[in-house]
Amino acid sequence: MMAKPSTCVLLGLFGLFFVSLGCAQVEAQVQPQGESLQVLVVYHSLSGNTEEMAKSVMAGAQSIPGTSVILHRVRDVTAEKLFGSDAVVVGSPVYWSNMSGEVKAFFDRWQFEFGVFPELKMRNKIGAAFATGGQVSSGKEMTMLTILAAMLGNRMIVVSDGGAFGASATTEGDSPGINDAERADAWALGKRVAEVAWMVKRGQALPAQP
């Protein structure tokens, strides 16, 4: 016995409803509705090289849907922007095989001006580093390690991409400035930071210790 035309139409509508519902659920898993992620990219730059790397980090983070990025020089960061971000990426030029004094002062402000302790307000936020230096062996890895050490001291979760400790660029030589490969490394670092920050935001972070 054949179903009436009205019954067929009704069944067809129900079928479309459940297919649409299933698609919506899959889309929601990929990008939850109403959720947003904030990445703070901060840097110190006199020549413009570290700033250029920072912009590539920003572009990489923005490639992940739902991610907004705040780009600031270290001197312009406020407590509200620091604590309101899910991830912080810090960039510095190499000064005597270490981070610049301005970047070190930024980390000092975390406690003396912003009051990070004793609540450990940066705990389980994502952190990453990038650096620029004139020569191949100018101390870029040491600079990134000191940045990451400050983050680890604040119980942050540090990540890297494009290099062992983060992204870096050699700015002097036959082709001074930032090259395309170094921009790509900085972009990949920003993307990696946003990806991991989303994982943590969705509940995969370790719970805070009592």
Per-residue pLDDT tens for 57-73?
A: 999 999 999 999 999 99
DSSP state of 209: P
Give Cα 44 to chain centroid, integer Å. Answer: 17
Q: Any alpha helices (H) in the chain, and if so which ranges?
A: 5-30, 49-62, 79-83, 101-112, 140-153, 180-199
Any domain includes 9: no
Which amino acid makes up residue 18? F
Summarised one tens digit per residue, pLDDT across range 12-35 is 433 433 333 333 332 333 344 567
Any domain includes 134: yes
Instruction: Give residue 163's pLDDT.
Output: 79
pLDDT in tens, the chain (210 residues): 444 444 443 334 334 333 333 333 323 333 445 679 999 999 999 999 999 999 999 999 999 999 999 999 999 999 999 999 999 999 999 999 999 999 999 999 999 999 999 999 999 999 999 999 988 778 999 999 999 999 999 999 999 986 789 999 998 866 678 999 999 999 999 999 999 999 999 875 445 554
- Rounded to 5°, the CA angle 153-156-159 comes to 115
Give 69's strand partners.
Answer: 39
Instruction: Give residue 209's pLDDT.
Output: 52
The answer to whether 205 and 124 have CB atoms below 8 angstroms apart is: yes
Domain, as residue range, for 50: 36-202
* Average pLDDT value for the chain: 84
Which amino acid makes up residue 19? V
Any domain includes 11: no
Count: domains in the chain: 1
In this structure, what CATH number is given to the domain that contains residue 95? 3.40.50.360
Any domain includes 84: yes
Residues 6+ apart with CB under 8 A from 205: 124, 157, 199
Instruction: Give residue 21's pLDDT.
Output: 32
Structure tokens at 114: 């912003």
Q: From the CB of residue 16, how many other CB atoms can be counted at a distance below 10 Å?
A: 10
Give me the helix-helix angle, 180-199 and 49-62, nearest 10°.
40
The answer to whether 93 and 167 have CB atoms below 8 angstroms apart is: no
Instruction: Give residue 174's pLDDT.
Output: 63
